[in-house]
Amino acid sequence: MCSPALAVGVASIVATVASTAMSAYSQSKSADYQAQVATNNQITANQNARIALQQGQVQEQTQDIKTGEMIGAVKANEAASGVNPNTGSAVDVRSSAAETGEMDALTIRYNSNLQARNLQYQGAQYGAEAQMYGAEGNWAVANSILGGASSVSNKWLMYNQTGVPGFGNSGTGMLNPNSGGWGY
């Protein structure tokens, strides 16, 4: 028959081991979840980067069309006003309008490329974050196991030093280091 102190000591150690296992599992699952969230954010950021480029291309084409329409309207107004649209300041006005329209289109392209690049960087950061969480999960498990082992050994030592039967110094069960094996 085992002593109540031995039963309490063993129960305490078993509870510590179970708690350690649950803590390691919980930390691992939490890190897995965080890694998946970061991966999903990376996918979204990369999709948004592609969308930003596509929208920029459409806006640039729209600007080119508007510029062409504006230049055509200016030329038609010049001709309707009796001005020769092929000489002098009439050509300069249309040339200036074309340059302004091209500058607007280039600004649209630049802004969409900048937005896409920033989203790609954000996606890369999320990817790195996902890798970090994956590693963190592994380290959390190792940390929990080491912490639990330390706690179990501290309890074993405390029970041994306080003379609880069965924890090494009484020879009535469990491992007895003085007997070279089990102390039954």
pTM reported for the whole predicted model: 0.64
Q: Which residues partner with 181 through β-bridges?
A: 176
For residue 183, the model assigns a pLDDT of: 46
Query: What is the rounded CA–CA span in Å between residue 102 and residue 94?
Result: 12
Q: Spell out the alpha helix ranges (H) of the chain.
A: 4-80, 88-161
One pLDDT digit (tens) per residue for the chain, 184 residues: 566 666 666 677 777 777 777 777 888 888 889 999 999 999 999 999 999 999 999 999 999 999 999 999 999 998 999 989 888 899 999 999 999 999 999 999 999 999 999 999 999 999 999 988 888 777 777 677 777 777 777 777 777 777 766 666 544 444 555 555 444 4
Domain encompassing residue 123: 4-182
Give the Cβ contact number of residue 13 at 10 Å.
Answer: 17
End-to-end CA distance of the chain: 12
Find, among 17, 12, 106, the residue nearest to 67 by Cα. 106
Instruction: Measure Cα distances from 85 to 72, 81, 90, 97, 129 in Å.
Output: 11, 10, 5, 14, 61
Total number of domains in the chain? 1
